[in-house]
Amino acid sequence: MVPAAASAADPQEVAADIPYTCAFPSGERLATVRVSATFPGRAEAGEAFSPTDVTTAVELPAEAVADLTALGAATVRAATRLTVGVAQDEATAEAVWRGTVAEPAALPGSGPLTLTATGDVPTVTARGDGDLTFSARELTVDLALGTTEGATADPGSLTVDCVPAEEAPDGGPLVTVPVGADAPEPGGSPSAPGSPPSSPGPSTGAPDGEGGGAGDGTGERQADRAPEAAKGAPGGGAAVGRDAPPCRYDDEHPATLASLNAYVTGYTNVNKLKGASLLPVSCLLIEQGNPVDGPPDPDHLVFDSVSEGNFHHEGRKRTPPFESTFLAFGFTPVKATMVLEQTGPIRIDARIKMRWTDFWTTTDTYVRAPLVLRVTALEINGTPLDVGSGCRTATNLTSPEPDPANHPGDHLVLYGRGEQEIGMPATGYLLLSGGPLRGEVSIPAFTGCGTADGENLDRLLTASVSGPGNYVKQIQGQTCSIANPVFGDEFNAAQCTEDLQPAVVPVPER
């Protein structure tokens, strides 16, 4: 997740080639793994940070490629799980960096094949001053095999376990991040002694996946709770100061045993204006649905659940007003004040699949939100332009719908996926713990813009803004469960404030 306050030091770009021994069908083979990432040049104790631009490139040797070809495969996709050790003095912790290969790769007729996986990774929080060292440890590569016709090869999947080779028995060193105000730049003079071995060590902040689940490669979030800051919380982002609107149930919106509340924020690209608009931190009230049996699956235990959510701002189902400034037509500065308004309830569909063989669990979540975009104020080159009280998109925002037969109508569609290996923290998006949701939105034409005695501005806004294919990335924070609030203590992160608002205020990510 994005740290609340970035280090002032220049970032460290790392690209480490590490030899691994991997167990392929024909036997153990030596494979080269390149781990690339950008780390901060310095961090502060208690401040969560996360490596960015993380890639894990695995070079399959020629013998391994021949193994896959012998299984009838012509293409392969990969997902990686790299265990990363984090140490500070005598204290240690581990995080799992997960990545996926976006598109199937064709197997070559001979020679090696490199598969490059990318993905978000957990945050790390140092508990005291002193150097944080990162090292690459065990690696698991899940391979999905396919044929040229798109069918699944036999067998359709293969898991390859890798360990650092003999020449790197303790794992591959990646980077050292100095922690503390007096810490030197990387490669500088030695720092003052760090925290003693008895002090708390680094934390990857990854929650246990039980109940609250985990966010997107979740790390410890600097949640605030009244009257003092909590130790941190899992899920969607970090915020040192509490800068968020009220988010609580009231007499008009009474809570039930299934009630949750959470903050959401994010960015939406506006392709025509070559920029992005920030969705402000907004309150979402959620009624969690009960899981029911999903469709039969011989390999998985499947559950479906449907939850309902509503924005809540000053008693209305809308976001707070937000401003965005763009250069219209490439040269004219335009500042618009907007809100997103619901035209119906937000539906949250989750399908949970647990594999019988190893209890590997995936959760696919689709959020369907019927929303219109309303413009309440407009300035052109600093001059106010009256848009009237009814300026809005003529219809709801729309997204490609993966299941139109069961979900007709115009609505925004956002997707998030959570994964969990038994005994390990979950990663990705889960309703309870939040994380990233992504999608693509078409902005419809505008209507009602302008005043009765003024110029009709519908065509101006439509020409400037409306259009398809605008990327959306939304971050949901950890939910507060009203029936079972977690206020935090010395060991556990706060999920709720004392007055039952979400403790975690997420940070938007581009």
CATH fold for the domain made of 12-177: Immunoglobulin-like (2.60.40)
3-state secondary structure 433-472: CEEEEEEEEEECCEECCCCCCCCCCHHHHHHHHCEEEEEE
Distance CA(415)–CA(399), nearest Å, equals 11
> What pLDDT is recorded for position 125?
78
Question: Are the C-beta atoms of residues 414 and 435 closer than 8 Å to each other?
Answer: no
Between the two ends of the chain, the Cα-to-Cα distance in Å is: 11
DSSP annotation string for 365-391: EEEEE-EEEEEEEEEETTEE----S--
pLDDT in tens, the chain (510 residues): 222 333 345 789 999 999 999 998 888 999 999 999 999 988 888 777 888 889 999 999 999 999 888 888 888 888 888 988 888 887 777 788 888 887 788 999 889 999 999 887 777 877 788 898 999 999 989 888 887 765 554 556 788 899 988 766 566 789 999 988 655 544 433 333 333 333 344 554 432 323 333 333 333 322 222 222 233 333 333 333 467 899 999 888 899 999 999 999 999 988 887 778 888 999 999 999 998 988 888 888 999 999 999 999 998 999 999 888 776 656 667 788 999 999 999 999 999 999 888 788 999 999 999 999 999 998 887 888 888 889 999 999 999 999 999 999 999 999 999 988 776 777 899 999 899 999 999 999 999 998 777 788 888 888 888 999 999 999 999 999 999 898 887 667 889 999 999 999 998 887
Where do the domains of the chain lie?
Answer: 12-177, 259-375+394-440+466-481
Whole-number Å distance between alpha carbons of 276 and 324: 8
Residues in the chain: 510
Compute the Cα dihedral for 149, 153, 157, 163 and give only its sign. Answer: negative
C-beta of residue 222 within 8 angstroms of C-beta of residue 229: yes
DSSP secondary structure letters along 136-156: EEEEEEEEEEE-TTSPEEEEE
Matching residue, tokens 């302008």: 450
Q: To which residue do tokens 């029936």 refer?
A: 483
The CA distance from 503 to 485, in Å, is 10
The amino acid at 147: T
Q: Which residues contact 333 (CB under 8 A, 6 or more apart)?
A: 325, 326, 327, 380, 381, 382
Is residue 234 within 8 Å of residue 207, measured between CB atoms? yes
Helix (H) or strand (E) holding 217: none
Q: How many CA atoms, within 13 angstroms, populate the side-chain half-sphere of residue 365?
A: 28
**Residue 65 DSSP one-character state:** H
Cα distance between residue 179 and residue 198, in whole Å: 17
Distance CA 206, CA 225 (A): 20
pLDDT of 393 = 95
